[in-house]
Amino acid sequence: VADAVVGSLVDVVGPGHVLTDADVRVGYEQDWTGAFGGPARAVVRPGSTAEVAAVVDACRAASVPIIPQGGNTGLVGGGVPEGPGPPGRGEIVLSTRRLQTIDPVDAAAGQITVGAGVTLLALQERLAPLGFEVGVDLASRSGATLGGMAATNAGGTRVLRHGTMRGRVVGAEAVLGTGATVTHLRGLTKDTTGYDLAGLLVGSEGTLGVITALRLVIDPRPAQRAAALVATTGFDAALATAVGVHRRLPTLEAAEVVDGATVELVMATLDLPPPVAGHPTWYVLLGAAGPGDEAEDLARALDATAGPSAVGVIDAVVAGDGPRVDALWRYRDRATESLAAAGPPRKLDVSVPVSALAAFVAAVPDAVARCAPGAVLHVFGHVLDGNLHCNLLGVPSGGGHRVDDVVLDLAVGLGGSIGGEHGIGRAKRSFLHLVRSPAEIDAFRAVKSALDPAGILNPGVLLPA
């Protein structure tokens, strides 16, 4: 049976782009965190939209599930096979990495059309010399693809100023689960002609269609970027600093928090010097981007907010040139990989209203200690988005689901969500009901069955079985 499907995929893309050897497949079968994955029947790498459509048709005809995969940097297990289930569940991983076209910039519109398999870094590098940038930025930029970022509605470190992927995507091309190709890439600012299919694909996590191309809004590249790392004695002071600087500095684009334990882990993992003296319990990293002297403006806003009389601020370092800005960002950007090296951690990405952040941060350690004694909690995230990443190292085996439940429940109880930016994937599907009503989940299923009637796209992802 397997060979018949694999044979038809070979007919579509050629033998060089159907990977069946276990040692070649493995990089597509295991997720970035190491917590999810399983054997695939084969990995197929179509090189065009027509080939994606033919792959979907072949799998549909044989009722074989497809797992769309971009850069495989996702953190909720949505882009890899379910495993370790019964052998021969037989999913096909459809890698979009060969969908690599980057059209010329439309400077008048401030837009660009790109293939879904283009990485964020490749697009950043293409745009920079032309005076543009993507608007969204993530630490996983070298691997994450624009298709995957749209499929997860990725956020990252500039949401404060530039929004999430949802605001970037003004058109899409995709092969739906029906096998139909829908193309709407004109990117018109005004276009009141029916349902927003591109918008529906954003955040759909590969369950409705395989995105093959995107029309994206891009931004003029700012002349200057600056960063400040502020060390504080507590979360309240870190939050107050971020809020105060945001109020005073229109060019603020990033406001990130990292707890002291995580900064220490990053330092130990990467052999970095302490950014400031002492042992702060929370750091806040602020980023500004604009036409003026951003370092000076950031320092001034910081002085006005967190001067000598401010409570809880220990020290601050401001950087205005590229290498020093990058050096400060390492203490934040490298948190995920440092935790992975020490883990794998239990990862819980939550969002709560900014006004409830302090209550969440105060309550979460006890909640974790109660149900996962001995686990070490690391928290960092995008503070002014109300989006925190809780990472738990050393959760006793078998205790994972319980601790997920408690932390997610805490966020929901404070008016928040169980997924801020990474999606639901396989990791959180059993918790979806905490934030989505039965009527909403019914509507999700109705959309799913209209666009993927055979249920072959990413079964078991996002929607509980």
Q: Which residues bind ligand FAD (CB under 6 A)?
A: 32, 67-75, 78-79, 96, 116, 138-140, 143-145, 147-149, 151-152, 154-156, 205-206, 210-211, 336-337, 421-422, 425, 458, 461
Instruction: Give the Cα separation of 288 and 297 in Å (integer).
Output: 9
- Our CB check for ligand FAD shows the closer of 210 and 288 to be 210
Smallest separation (angstroms) from ligand LAC to the CB of 25: 26
* List 45, 141, 161, 389, residue binding ligand LAC (CB under 6 A): 389
Q: Which is nearer to ligand FAD, 363 or 454 (CB)?
A: 454
CB of 27 to ligand FAD, least distance (A): 12
- State the nearest-atom distance from the C-beta of 205 to ligand LAC, in Å: 15
Q: How many CA atoms within 13 Å lie on the side-chain side of 181?
A: 15
In this complex, which beta carbon is closest to ligand FAD, that of residue 46 or of residue 312?
46
Closer residue to ligand LAC (CB): 310 or 393: 393
As a whole number of angstroms, the distance between CA 34 and CA 341 comes to: 10
Residue 166 or 300: which CB sits closer to ligand FAD? 166
Q: Could you give the 3-state DSSP secondary structure of residue 216? A: strand
- Cβ burial 297-331 (10 Å sphere, 16+ → b, else e): bbbebbeebbeeebebbbebebbbeeeebebbbeb
Binding residue (CB under 6 A) for ligand LAC from 336, 338, 351, 458: 336
Say which residue the tokens 């997610």 belong to: 408
Place of tokens 């320092």: 299
Mapped onto helix, strand or coil, the DSSP state of residue 217 is: strand
- Which residues within the stretch 408-427 sit at the binding site for ligand LAC (CB under 6 A)? 421
Instruction: Determine if 342 is a binding residue for ligand LAC (CB under 6 A).
Output: no
Q: Are strands 169-176 and 132-133 parallel, antiparallel or unpaired?
A: unpaired
Q: Which does 147 bind (CB under 5 to 8 A by kind): ligand FAD, ligand LAC, none?
A: ligand FAD
Which of the choices ligand FAD, ligand LAC, none does residue 411 contact, using the CB cut-off of 5 to 8 A by kind? none
Report the residue number, 296 or 337, with the smaller CB distance to ligand FAD.
337
297 contact choice in ligand FAD, ligand LAC, none (CB below 5 to 8 Å, kind-dependent): none
What is the secondary structure of 343-402 as a DSSP string?
-PPEEEEEE--GGGHHHHHHHHHHHHHHHSTT-EEEEEEEGGGTEEEEEEESPPTT-HHH
Count Cα atoms within 13 angstroms, Cβ side, for 268.
10
Report the nearest approach of ligand LAC to the CB of residue 296 (Å): 28
Q: Is the Cβ of residue 305 or residue 458 nearer to ligand FAD in the bound state?
A: 458
In eight-state DSSP terms, residue 44 is: E
389 binds, among ligand FAD, ligand LAC, none (CB under 5 to 8 A by kind): ligand LAC
Q: Which is nearer to ligand FAD, 159 or 301 (CB)?
A: 159
- Rounded to 5 degrees, φ, ψ at 310 are -70, 140
Which whole-number Å values give the CA distances from 293 to 159, 225, 302, 319, 325, in the listed order?
A: 22, 9, 14, 11, 14
From the CB of 177, what's the least distance to ligand FAD, in Å? 11
Q: For ligand LAC, which residue of 62, 121, 122, 139 counts as binding (CB under 6 A)?
A: 139
Write down the least CB distance from residue 333 to ligand LAC, Å.
7
- Copy the structure tokens of residue 376: 């070490």
Sites of contact with ligand LAC (CB under 6 A): 139, 335-336, 389, 421
